[in-house]
Structure 1
Amino acid sequence: MFGVVVVAVVFLGAMMFWKTHNTSSVNMAKVSAMKPLVAVETVRRQDMLSRIVLSGQTVAAAQVEIAPKYKGYITQVAVELGQPVTAGQVLVVQDTKDVEFAIAQTMAAIRQARAETIETKASFSADYQKAAADYERNLAYYQRYEALHTSGAVSRETLDTARQQMINAKSALAALQEQAMEGSVPAMVESKQAALAKAEYNLEALKKQREDRILRAPRAGIIGYRQVEEGAFVPAGQKLLTIVDNGSSFIDFQVSEQNAAQIRTGMQVKVTIDSLGQEYPGTIIYVSPANDAKTQAFTVRLVLMPGEPAIRSGMFAHADITGLLRKQTIFVVKTAILEKNGKNYVFVINDNNQAEQRLVATGQRNDDSVEILAGINEGERVAVSNIARLKQDTVVEVEARGTAL
């Protein structure tokens, strides 16, 4: 009987202990469940970076359209679509028969003009010599008649006639002398020389026209467009061929104002060509000084390393650039920001693990973080998760996550 009583007492004691312990555990669990579990980060001053994603298309080093300067029939097409060409290589030849005929006529006109110039010079020289001889002869006659008139051998009328002839001869000589002055050309000779020069200029123009009817490659490349056949009549300015030079490849990107401010010429970039599935090194060589009036975007040009024949114009490409948004500043991850009524707040967790709601002023943003200009200090802990459950003075359960990135 005594043993039964002892067993009963032990059993009742065990039951009371289990009940008390279980109640305490439940109460502790309830208390713990009432504390929100949050991750925190300790803010530090550091460089705030941004990831700029660039998307664009490859652009050839040059794409030159070949078009005739003059209308006419095509007598030869010397290249095929896709054919490599070198600078100066003949591409297309137009009919030059009319030009050749005009050149022959002009050359005949030049020979005639040269002959006439020589003839005119000789004629002028003969006229000059004759005028000089006439003047000398008439002067001698006048001087002799003047002596005879003094002695009464000739009449005054005869003397006046001799004098007038001498004056006329002198005037004719003076006119020729004026044309033959040093540094000047006689008018009749100059006229012939001008006709000769005009014919020579015409000849050069016709030779240039003949040369222009032979269309040559202005640079090396590949024929990327061909729309011309022998025997066709083509008007002036019609595109016949296109030469594409992929010796160097460029990629043009359109970026926003904020991103353009972070990109500098000389930046080294890894570029992926989507269709090729390969990465190529490149260098930023140009950032437009002004945005496009229609798109409000800035153009960034990147040059790829030459010697990649697989890269063709028009291929899609993308690249990532890490830019510096702000040097040595305070920032938090976006999940730490609570927006209410147009204002931004964060929760600072104090040493007692209590949440303090702070109004903050924000600055720059990147894909992950927001700059804090005012409202928190370096070294403070900020809640970065579960902030929807937080209020002023809420006691939290802290899950440490290191420092802000």
Structure 2
Amino acid sequence: MNYEAGMFGRQERLEYTGDEAPKSRRWLWITLAVVAVIAIAAFFMMGKQDGAAGKQAAAKNASKANSQIPTVTVAIPGRQSIQEVISGTGSLAAKREMPVGVAGEGGLVTRVFVEPGVWVNKGQVLATVDRSVQVQTAESLGASVRVAEADARLAQANLERAQKLVSGGFISKADIDQKTATRDQANARVRVARAQLAETQARNGRLDIRAPEAGLVLTRQVEPGQIVSAGSGVLFRMAMGGQMELRAQLAEADLQRTRVGSTAQVTPTGSTQVFSGSVWQVSPVIDPNTRQGIARIQLSYNPALRPGGFASAQIITGSNSAVILPQSAIQSDAQGNYVYTLDGKDQAIRTPVTTGEVTDAGVSITQGLSGSERVVMTAGAFLNPGQKVIPQLLKKQ
């Protein structure tokens, strides 16, 4: 009994042990599988975090690298048509100044009819000189003319009567010749008397000081009561036709480029008004001391143009096509003027240039650029050749 119980009990224990072993192994494998899944998941999660961290680090590095690359303003300037302008300064004056003085004997000035700034016509009386004595002389000569004319008429009548008596033999041929000579002498005395009267009248007429041409009275140097003569000098100064001019002083090189007929803009000192004119004469000589010459610019009359005043001129000698850049784009060193352009990799390239005229629009570039380049407009002084930049294109207005 005990043996069987012991046998059966052992059998039961053996049977129980055989059932639990597979279950333990299954749980072990399940546990290992779960651990493996968790490990794999953790691995991938760490990998993603490392990748994100790497991307963030790379982005930070790229941002830091970009922050070290300078940003510059660039533009494609193209080509523009510009006028070639020569600047000069000088004094205003009458184009044709006419000094007016005493043409006759002179005398006491009785009246003055004009003031500076007045327009006068050709032959208009500007002033008169006392002619009381000359008038009496003219009257005397006029009487002499009348006496001579009377003598001439009498001689002509005597000759005609004598000619009627020739046929009757009452007067000889010699008497006729004598009367004819007497008639001719009387006519000659008439012509002499008339010539003397005309001379006196002409002299009296010259006592009137007249305008030689139509124009503008600039100055007056005579007053009533003044004694004037041929040696008194200039009594009036006139501008013929009222035309003015600017006698612009130009450098020798600029004078070579100036041509007769070139248009000009003249601005008197102290005025904002601009007057249009044209060059009518270019000086054929150069002052050896100043190395300058004179270009004479003709101007129409205007009260604002006062002879003796100072003015500046812009003479337009022609036009051409050129690249125009602001002053900030042009750099200079011992090797000359240059600008920075960008290549296809946005790297700075030093480009030597030759500058031309400087205008309100900018500086013209005569050599070195075609106009299609990307030119650095600002910050060029801080760049080096080959340096990479971030271009910011400047849009044209």
Q: Classify the TM-score, shorter chain.
A: 0.5 to 0.7
2:118 pairs with 1:115 = no
Distance 1:398 1:281 in 2: 42
TM superposition shift of 1:377: 3.3
Percentage of identical aligned residues: 19
Please tell me the residue identity of whatever aligns with 1:97. Answer: S
Q: What corresponds to 1:372 in structure 2?
A: 366
Which of 277, 280, 283 is equivalent to 1:288? 280
CA shift in 2, pair 1:217/1:344, >3 Å: closer
Q: What corresponds to 1:42 in structure 2?
A: 76
2:320 pairs with 1:302 = no
CA shift in 2, pair 1:125/1:85, >3 Å: same
Q: What corresponds to 2:228 in structure 1?
A: 234
Q: What corresponds to 1:200 in structure 2?
A: 194
TM superposition shift of 1:110: 1.4
2:139 pairs with 1:104 = yes
Which of 121, 129, 132 is equivalent to 1:94? 129
TM-score, normalised by the number of residues in structure 1: 0.59
Distance 1:234 1:274 in 2: 38
Please tell me the residue identity of whatever aligns with 2:363. Answer: S
TM superposition shift of 1:336: 4.6
Please tell me the residue identity of whatever aligns with 1:401. Answer: L
Q: CA RMSD in A?
A: 5.0
Which of 368, 390, 394 is equivalent to 2:387? 394
Please tell me the residue identity of whatever aligns with 1:199. Answer: A
Equivalent residue of 1:297, what SS?
A: strand
Contact 1:223 1:241 in 2 (8 A): no
Please tell me the residue identity of whatever aligns with 2:280. Answer: S
Please tell me the residue identity of whatever aligns with 1:288. Answer: W
Contact 1:250 1:303 in 2 (8 A): yes
CA shift in 2, pair 1:206/1:287, >3 Å: same
Deviates more, 1:77-86 or 1:102-111: 77-86
Equivalent residue of 1:371, what SS?
A: strand
Distance 1:235 1:283 in 2: 42
Greater length-normalized contact order (CA 8 Å, ≥ 6 residues apart): 1
TM superposition shift of 1:119: 3.3
Equivalent residue of 1:301, what SS?
A: strand
Q: What corresponds to 1:166 in structure 2?
A: none
TM superposition shift of 1:341: 7.2
1:76-121 per-residue CA deviation (whole Å, 9 max, x = no partner) reads 2446977968768765432323322331332233123223322333
1:242-280 per-residue CA deviation (whole Å, 9 max, x = no partner) reads 366899684625264488569855x8x6x76545x5x44
Please tell me the residue identity of whatever aligns with 2:188. Answer: A
Paired residues for 1:233-382 under 5 Å: 233-239=227-233, 241-242=235-236, 250=244, 252=246, 254=248, 256-257=254-255, 260=258, 264=262, 274-275=269-270, 279-280=272-273, 282-284=275-277, 286-291=278-283, 293-294=285-286, 295-303=292-300, 312-317=306-311, 325-327=319-321, 329-333=322-326, 336-337=329-330, 345-358=338-351, 362=354, 364-367=356-359, 368-373=362-367, 375-382=368-375
CA shift in 2, pair 1:128/1:303, >3 Å: same
Contact 2:219 2:238 in 1 (8 A): yes
Contact 1:79 1:91 in 2 (8 A): yes
Equivalent residue of 2:107, what SS?
A: strand
Contact 2:260 2:282 in 1 (8 A): no
CA shift in 2, pair 1:323/1:334, >3 Å: farther
1:182-235 per-residue CA deviation (whole Å, 9 max, x = no partner) reads xxxx665444433322321221221122222233567686784344451x4322
Equivalent residue of 1:356, what SS?
A: strand
Distance 2:194 2:105 in 1: 24
Please tell me the residue identity of whatever aligns with 1:71. Answer: E
CA shift in 2, pair 1:52/1:80, >3 Å: same
Distance 1:322 1:83 in 2: 31
Deviates more, 1:45-54 or 1:196-205: 45-54
Contact 1:63 1:243 in 2 (8 A): yes
Q: What corresponds to 2:24 in structure 1?
A: none
Distance 1:85 1:228 in 2: 19
TM superposition shift of 1:129: 4.2
2:104 pairs with 1:70 = yes
TM superposition shift of 1:61: 9.1
Distance 1:77 1:94 in 2: 7
Please tell me the residue identity of whatever aligns with 1:108. Answer: A
Please tell me the residue identity of whatever aligns with 1:303. Answer: S
TM superposition shift of 1:291: 3.2
CA shift in 2, pair 1:338/1:252, >3 Å: same
**For structure 1, which runs of at least 5 residues remain unmatched after alignment?**
1-16, 138-168, 181-185
Please tell me the residue identity of whatever aligns with 2:82. Answer: M
Greater C-alpha Rg: 2
Total equivalences in the alignment = 329
Paired residues for 1:11-22 under 5 Å: none
Please tell me the residue identity of whatever aligns with 2:76. Answer: T
1:337-365 per-residue CA deviation (whole Å, 9 max, x = no partner) reads 566777665433112111334455x4742
CA shift in 2, pair 1:202/1:331, >3 Å: same
CA shift in 2, pair 1:188/1:61, >3 Å: same
CA shift in 2, pair 1:210/1:289, >3 Å: closer
Distance 1:358 1:342 in 2: 11
Q: What corresponds to 2:208 in structure 1?
A: 214
Distance 1:247 1:131 in 2: 68
Please tell me the residue identity of whatever aligns with 2:293. Answer: Q
Contact 1:262 1:324 in 2 (8 A): no
Contact 1:75 1:94 in 2 (8 A): yes
